[in-house]
Structure 1
């Protein structure tokens, strides 16, 4: 079964104009009716670093989860943020961005990779105590623009370290749109075979015309967890290319359906969410 993770947090977080809290909540409430496995709805990080997400706790208080089967995921960058997120029973998953690039880890979380690994262990322990699941995103998972070391063997080393911490979900993140289908296939096949108890996912930033071969490569290699954002809003400013955005969920769904995968989404609610997305991000 394919798991679809809808990421309004990633779509919203980089926008300069602050999106009203009530509008955020209305949009996420609509997404919760579609039938996604998980909705990545917000983050408990420094409001100075990500001002758009400063109202995550308030947004959460406005969400109607009673009629939704979707689970909630929030991003954290340190133990303080994790403790704040774990206060809310409604949150199922905490996500932590671990980078294969030392440069990007410092820029993203103000930590070294080694410090970030210590933080992951601390957050993992907290999650186990509270009955939550930690999702680790391996950012710069397919290369980086900084000249930092990168290789499939380095990826395998990171995965081993996370497996030693009993991390159960790892999502390879193509932060700058550099992933090639052959590399995608290699990473998923090798790591999934080596660590069958880990659920491996994909968080792509890519040009729309490059999406299909990347998704097909991941599918063929056994990936069953995909992140997306309606209409492809968002993406990483480090890409320095406005066309390199999040995977448009509607395009991802189309590819999956053409490959014979059922998504079990409510098409009417999805259509309403698409209309609302156009308003929220206009």
Structure 2
């Protein structure tokens, strides 16, 4: 079981700038918990995501000596990936590839064919620099724009990624559009069809639907889950109103119920939860 904590996703849509020192201290608390990966920041245009303009400064302030958690940075283009690749502390580079043409344009100012070309170059860069590319299939469970979507469409996108030798694909419910049925359908089809790919669930949710979504993904064989403490955040490029991230505390509680080990340190998790409350005011 791999739990990926996403403070970057939690912070990116907030209008009030979180001071660099506050970000750094929060990330340091998260690094003590034992998450598999920390989606800690992004190298994108500060005009697009002003909240994360200090990612390099935050990274410089982290003490990584005692953590086993991998650091993941999100990029929107090859230039951002080239920047991220210069940091030996960063093990993973994430890129959002949208199943929806409308959202791809909104999110990265590229068409899907252009994004695929960019992604291929980023994958080559990752191989050369010893990084792991994590590709997020944005709008993976549907979209609000009327763009084509079907399980077959998602499978076609996944095949293109497999052809590039992309090894981690996170199906992303960018606006909370998924249902338990679509989640179970996709994972149950894709996981056996692409055994070389590690599939993740990046689910956005409302408080009343989180359990059925997690249960559906878990039942279908998914063992990589993204979350954010407090369920804070969402994608500001997707909609005017943000649909919250999957609350990490709910993931932890669910996996405890089903007897699935997460490898997290309970004391450090409690301390990180308290720190999240201070940062995000919940």
TM range (shorter): over 0.9
Gaps of 5+ in 1: none
User: In structure 1, what is the Cα distance between the partners aligned to 2:89 and 2:59?
Assistant: 8
Q: Secondary structure at the match of 1:246?
A: coil
Match of residue 119 from structure 1:
118
Which whole-Å deviations, capped at 9, do the CAs of 1:56-107 have from their partners, x for residues lacking one?
A: 0110000111011100000001111001000000000000000000000000
1:136 aligns with 2:135: yes
What's the RMSD between the two structures over aligned residues? Answer: 0.9
Residue 83 in structure 1 maps to residue 78 in structure 2: no
Q: Equivalent residue of 2:165, what SS?
A: coil
Distance 1:58 1:176 in 2: 30
| Match of residue 71 from structure 1 | 70
The 5 A counterparts of 1:1-282 are 2-237=1-236, 238-241=238-241, 244-282=243-281
- 1:200 deviates by 0.2
CA distance in 2, matches of 1:50, 1:191: 32
**1:230 Cα shift?**
0.4
Alignment size in residue pairs: 280
On the 8 A contact 1:205/1:236 being kept in 2, the answer is no
Q: What secondary structure sits across from 1:29 in the alignment? A: helix
SS at structure 2 position matched to 1:172: strand
Query: What is the CA distance between 1:241 and its match in structure 2?
Result: 4.5
Unaligned runs of 5+ in 2: none
1:89-140 C-alpha deviation (Å, 9 max, x unpaired):
0000000000000000000000000000000000000000011100000000
Rounded Cα–Cα distance in structure 2 between residues aligned with 1:264 and 1:120: 32
Q: Does the 8 Å contact 1:175/1:239 carry over to 2?
A: no
Give the structure-2-normalised TM-score. 0.98
**For residues 214-245 of structure 1, what are the alpha-carbon distances to aligned partners after superposition, in whole Å with 9 as ceiling and x for unaligned?**
11111111100000000111113435555x30
Give the Cα separation in 2 of the matches to 1:109 and 1:28: 26
Secondary structure of the equivalent of 1:206? Answer: coil
